[in-house]
Amino acid sequence: MDNLDKLFCVQCGSQSLILKKPDGDTHVRTICQNCNHIMYQNPKIVTGSVCSYKDKILLCKRAIDPQKGLWTLPAGYLEINESIEEGAVREAYEEAFAKIQIVRLLATYSLKHISQIQVIYEAKLLNEDIKAGIESLEVGLFGWDEIPWDQLAFESVRWALRNFKERQNSNTFDVFNNPN
């Protein structure tokens, strides 16, 4: 947690947070010296999908930072009280008005440096009625050779696309994770 001395305790409002390992814990936590409240930090979950329609794959051009103007898969933060699969379906609709059906899990990626876990599904786009949602400038269906490889928003988009292709070619259902 950045700028710890500028932050306030959620529980008591005092400005006396420190980093300390609580008794019996294995990790350093953010603790309030006034009320002893522990402010746990947790990795976040991104859920999304590689959606295909015939031989084409759905991509969305980002309308928001980070990486505004670059292409990504429909994906985003999992919400409270939502299953991972529901989150992936919701993101496809929010970003591209795409109606999809989850086929199976494709990959889990651990982006340790930003404490983000990505859970990416293989999905079928149910029809071609797509249009840009509020977070997209543009959406489109791309054949493998039409994918804008040099304009992808994130490295993990490239991983997911390659893993999708790899699975198609190998016909196994192994779940991928970070490439070596």
Where on the chain is the footprint of its own copies (CB under 8 A)? 7-13, 15, 24, 26-27, 39-45, 77-86, 94, 104-105, 108, 110, 112-113, 115, 117, 119, 134, 172-175, 177-178
CA distance 180 to 166: 15
CA distance 108 to 106: 7
Smallest separation, CB 40 to its own copies (Å): 8
- In three-state secondary structure terms, 12 is coil
At residue 157's C-alpha, the angle toward residues 175 and 56, to 5°, is 85
Tell me, what DSSP letter sits at residue 151?
G
The total number of residues shown for the chain amounts to 180
Looking at the Cβ atoms of 128 and 174, the one nearer to its own copies is: 174
Q: How far apart are the first and last CA of the chain?
A: 29
Looking at the Cβ atoms of 16 and 142, the one nearer to its own copies is: 16
Amino acid letter at 160? Answer: A
Smallest separation, CB 7 to its own copies (Å): 5
Smallest separation, CB 113 to its own copies (Å): 7
Dihedral sign from CA coordinates of 59, 61, 66, 67: positive
Smallest separation, CB 161 to its own copies (Å): 20
Looking at the Cβ atoms of 154 and 176, the one nearer to its own copies is: 176
Looking at the Cβ atoms of 147 and 176, the one nearer to its own copies is: 176
Looking at the Cβ atoms of 71 and 121, the one nearer to its own copies is: 121
Smallest separation, CB 165 to its own copies (Å): 19
